[in-house]
Amino acid sequence: MIEFEGIVIRVTPFRDKDAIVNVISKDKLRSFLARGVLKLESKNASSVNMFVKSRFQVSKGKEGFSLRVGELLNSYERIKTNLNALAVMDLVGELTNKMIQTEEVQSLFPFFEKTIDLLNDGFDPLSAAILYFARILLETGYGLDVDNCVSCGKTSQIVSFSYKDGGFICSDCFDPLKHEKLNSRQLKIWRYIFKVDLANYGKVSFEKQETLKVLNELAEFVTDVAQVELKSLKLLRKL
């Protein structure tokens, strides 16, 4: 018998009234078969809803791990009543499922849990989206350089950001055919999301148009570089 706590990030119907449940815990990604949890009367149903935190007891059999007992710890109810927050959690779950490997979970989990706590407390959803997106890229080795110009290493006169080049661009390396000039606030947003630590994570939020622009560029980046298509972005772009 194995016992652990975690947050549900995917529930896939399997056979009649069963489901395969994917969970992110503090040390690894886990999956198990939850028999009968799609029945209304199932005692474990509430513990395997999407984006809830629960304590699970699972046992290993011939078909892998199976749920014995699930205990709901936090339902994050305020997220479920906020369409914008729920749409961001769909993105958070999809990013985690598609990009994170088990060895990366231990350092990522505090940011995952902080993100869901922020959304439940009413933090701006789109700001939470770009913060977590940047964190995923950092954890998976796709982080972008926001310390200096990626072309010459210069730390002053930064005027642009290019994911295709890998980060900041200075005035000397700026190419009007390739790059877009950004104002100081736009540059600070890019630096903040890639440099913020856990203690300051979520202490700053941004305007809608600012976050949507960053979100679109991050999405283009993972499509171009990591070949990851994000279905959840369609709803987010309509917010």
In this structure, are 7 and 69 located in the same domain?
Answer: yes
pTM: 0.94
CA R_g for the chain: 20
Query: Residue 121: is its pLDDT beyond 90?
Result: yes
Closest by CA position to 149, among listed 126, 170, 127: 170
User: In whole angstroms, what is the distance from residue 108 CA to residue 105 CA?
Assistant: 5
3-state secondary structure of 6: strand
In this structure, are 90 and 42 located in the same domain?
Answer: no
Q: Which of 74, 91, 114 is the last residue of a domain?
A: 74
Here the CATH number for the domain that contains residue 208 is 1.20.1440
In this structure, are 34 and 92 located in the same domain?
Answer: no
Structural domains in the chain (count): 2
Query: Residue 234: is its pLDDT beyond 90?
Result: no
Per-residue pLDDT tens over the stretch 167-197 = 999 999 999 999 999 999 999 999 999 999 9
Residue 202 lies in a domain: yes
Per-residue pLDDT tens over the stretch 124-157 = 999 999 999 999 999 999 999 999 999 999 999 9
In this structure, are 70 and 95 located in the same domain?
Answer: no
Q: What's the average model confidence in pLDDT over 105-123?
A: 96
For residues 34 and 22, the answer to whether their CB atoms sit within 8 Å is no
Q: What is the pLDDT of residue 235?
A: 80
Alpha helices in 174-232 (DSSP H): 184-195, 208-225
User: Phi and psi at residue 143, in whole multiples of 5°?
Assistant: -60, 145
In this structure, are 67 and 139 located in the same domain?
Answer: no
